[in-house]
A = this chain, B = another copy of it.
């Protein structure tokens, strides 16, 4: 139950785009430097975020990436799901056909409950919520 670096980097990159929202495209190179991530690795992550529809790209000089929607319209779950997928715990929680005893399975209920509370947090928070909080605390977006 650990997060991949992909997800962590993606979250930080998207938070940085959110902070920069409305100020034109931001380059992978810049984000990579600020977040101390390999440029080439981040490129792949950005590509995935783009094909998920979370961000838009502008090619060529002075290009870069921008959020596809304003920060208040993007939930943390949107970012999370790109690499971690919608299933947080076990397959059978999302798909009750996965196991024929799903209907009255207690173990499944444990994992379903955990999945529920996790998604609660992710869906209740937007990028804007996070950056507002950051401004209050003078925090940054590491990890």
Contact = CB atoms under 8 A, between A and B. Distances in A.
A80 to B, nearest CB: 8
Interface stretch (A21-29, A52-60, A110-118): A110-118
A31 interface: no
Nearest to A125: B110
A1 B119 CA distance: 12
How large, as a class, is the contact surface on chain A? 35 or more
Contacts of A8: 90, 107, 111
A1 B90 CA distance: 9
B90 A3 contact: yes
A50 to B, nearest CB: 20
Given A114-B118, A118-B118, A120-B117, A143 B102 contact: yes
